[in-house]
Amino acid sequence: MTMVRAMRTQREGSPWTGLWAVVAKEMADHLSSTRMFILEMLIALTAVGTAYNAASAIRSVAGLEPKFLFLKLFTVADEPFPSFVGFLGFLVPLIAIALAFDAVNNEFNQHTLARVLSQPIYRDALLFGKFLAGLFTQFLIYSAIWLLVFGLGVWQLGIPPTGEEVGRALWLLVATVFYGGVWMAVALLFSVRFRQPATAALASIAVWLFFSIFWPMISTSLATILAPIRIGTPEEILAQARWLLALRRLAPSQLYAEIVVALLRPEVRSLGLVLPFQLEGAILGQPLPLSQSVLLIWPHLTGLIAATILLFALAYILFQRQEVRA
């Protein structure tokens, strides 16, 4: 009898049945919601304003090297406006949190979760479908913004982008999506943990503010404790600098900032500490090819992906343990 009951309680069919139905439904909700429309308009206006100011600043500089001009659209700042990537570091977490802070708890509050799971849709497909829909929505939004920036650049600068510039911009797009994926996974985790969407949103924003504002100060204090400078020898200074860099890289914003630097400034040859003897034979000022820049950011991109998977796994475990009642 025990074996018969075990066979009856086993899942029938694939646990991913209905996954793409959930993805399509969630994407339709995201793209048609007023909340996302406001955020999309905000980031579109930001992209147009910063790219236009950057293009005007580039055209006003006589004798500027024409190489990698389109990359400067992302990085050049014209006071009082910051650069486009400066705005991205602020807006991407907000968009990601807005996509997921009420993904699960809203289903509980509206008493629709039991009805959804009564269909041939397992919890695995429901949660993963919501997460994939958020990633795809971010990809669509950022792709449109990238095309808008490049179109404005062609109009203002009068020259098309090179293949190298397009490749670097595409890698930056991928990194931006996964950077947003980290904060979306944080919001999804709190959406599973807390029943109130407002609590989940505040908790997600608190985590983002902690790593963006307070963690650099805390990491500096921790580095001085873990590797104090007693005599002032080069070894002690180097050890403290390495601890500081390692601690700061625990923040997703630091990883994303270094990815931006490596991709949009091709002359950057290292993202860590570089000793003088390591520069022997290097041609300073010579831009790196795209393949070398990708190798440079690969550990950072892997870290963002690993953080996203870990946070989603925590949300998945909590969601599987929750009781769903009709």
pLDDT digit string, tens, across residues 263-290: 988 888 777 665 544 444 455 557 888 8
With vertex at residue 26, the alpha carbon angle to CA 316 and CA 28, rounded to the nearest 5 degrees, is 165
Q: What is the mean pLDDT of the chain?
A: 82
pLDDT recorded at residue 13:
59
2 pLDDT above the threshold of 70 = no
pLDDT recorded at residue 256:
94
pLDDT recorded at residue 230:
83
Higher pLDDT, 147 or 305: 305
Q: Which domain holds residue 89?
A: 11-272+283-321
Res. 97 pLDDT band, cuts 50 70 90: very high
Is 106 contained in some domain?
yes
Res. 60 pLDDT band, cuts 50 70 90: low
Give the least confident one: 15-29, 36-50, 66-80, 200-214: 66-80
Is 269 in contact with 286 (CB distance < 8 Å)? no
pLDDT recorded at residue 8:
40
* Amino acid identity, position 106: N
Which among 294, 40, 41 is positioned nearest to 169, based on CA atoms?
294
Which range has highest mean pLDDT (37-41, 45-49, 179-183)?
179-183
pLDDT recorded at residue 64:
53
pLDDT digit string, tens, across residues 227-250: 888 887 878 888 888 888 889 999
**How much of the chain, in percent, has pLDDT values that exceed 70?**
87
**Count of structural domains, the chain:** 1
Helix spans in the chain (H): 2-9, 19-32, 34-60, 69-75, 84-100, 105-109, 113-117, 123-157, 163-193, 197-209, 215-226, 234-248, 252-264, 290-321
Which range has highest mean pLDDT (48-57, 157-166, 180-189)?
180-189
Is 277 contained in some domain?
no
Is 278 contained in some domain?
no
255 pLDDT above the threshold of 60 = yes
Is 1 contained in some domain?
no
pLDDT recorded at residue 127:
87
Query: 3-state secondary structure string, 51-64?
Result: HHHHHHHHHHCCCC
The structure tokens listed for 95 are 């968009």
CA 292 vs. chain centroid, Å, equals 22
Does a cis peptide bond (omega within 30 degrees of 0) precede residue 252?
no
Is 258 contained in some domain?
yes
Is 26 contained in some domain?
yes
Is 4 contained in some domain?
no
Is 326 contained in some domain?
no
The structure tokens listed for 83 are 């650069």
pLDDT recorded at residue 300:
93
